[in-house]
Amino acid sequence: MTLRIVLLGAPGAGKGTQAQRLAATHGLVHISTGDMFRAHLKQGTELGQRVQDYLSSGRLVPDDLTCAIVTDRLVQPDCAQGYILDGFPRSAPQAEALDAFFTDNGQKLDVAVDIAVADEDIVDRLSARRSCPACGAIYNLKYGPSKRGGLCDRENCSGELILRDDDREETIRKRLQVYHQTTAPVIGYYGNQGILKTVDATGLTPDDVFARIEEILCGLKGA
């Protein structure tokens, strides 16, 4: 069964972790707008320079720019067997643009899963996150620290871990404010379409969240 899934949730809700695990389990392509943006930043492209201004201040990248990047990725051959969209759509116009893409390409979205986490838990998680600028690995001082302290412990890498600008508490709170104002309406958008499923992930382990999403996907396959 070809699955096309959207994972919703505030920054730090665990979308990336769940998307990677689900993609590996079901043989789906994991499409992360954050990863695509960071790739452009690392390569120093013109797009990366434009994106940097938005990410460092906690603002969202403009809809037209984001939609163009995502839809170009969705027409690649490896997406034909299904994919998980992580971090997109982030606004009602983006959701509408995605629907237009599906209509133009004879596809449909199977389910939108909202991973719901309390704001204070989000702040606690993200402010403890550290990143390796050399290889892109991400650690958490409380839940998944590097075995080498302030250095990346991936094989053949010893990059010095940093606190990214968008993981600072003041930026996180601004991102959450932007999320509630701009992205949360997407939940209603998919709710009106009858394809929204919500997982209350506050206080749950990643394994618990994964199990609940798996139940949802099993229900789709059995439908």
Given the residues 4, 90, 125, 197, the one annotated as active site? 90
Active site residue 15: yes
State the Cα–Cα distance between residues 123 and 118, nearest whole angstrom.
Answer: 9
Given the residues 15, 21, 73, 125, the one annotated as active site? 15
Active site residue 4: no
Pairing verdict, β 111-116 and 82-86: unpaired
Active site residue 73: no
Given the residues 129, 130, 197, 212, the one annotated as active site? 129
Tell me how crowded residue 136 is: count the other CB atoms within 10 A of its CB: 15
Which residue type does 116 have?
Answer: A
Burial string for 85-97 (b: 16+ CB within 10 Å, else e) reads bbbbbbbebbbeb
Given the residues 59, 154, 164, 174, the one annotated as active site? 164
Tell me how crowded residue 158 is: count the other CB atoms within 10 A of its CB: 12
**Strand 82-86's sheet: what is its strand order?**
29-32, 82-86, 3-8, 111-116, 196-200
Tell me how crowded residue 135 is: count the other CB atoms within 10 A of its CB: 13
State the Cα–Cα distance between residues 69 and 195, nearest whole angstrom.
Answer: 24
Active site residue 21: no
DSSP secondary structure letter of residue 166: G
DSSP secondary structure letter of residue 76: S
Active site residue 148: no
CB 112 within 8 A of CB 84: no
**Which positions are catalytic?**
15, 90, 129, 164, 175
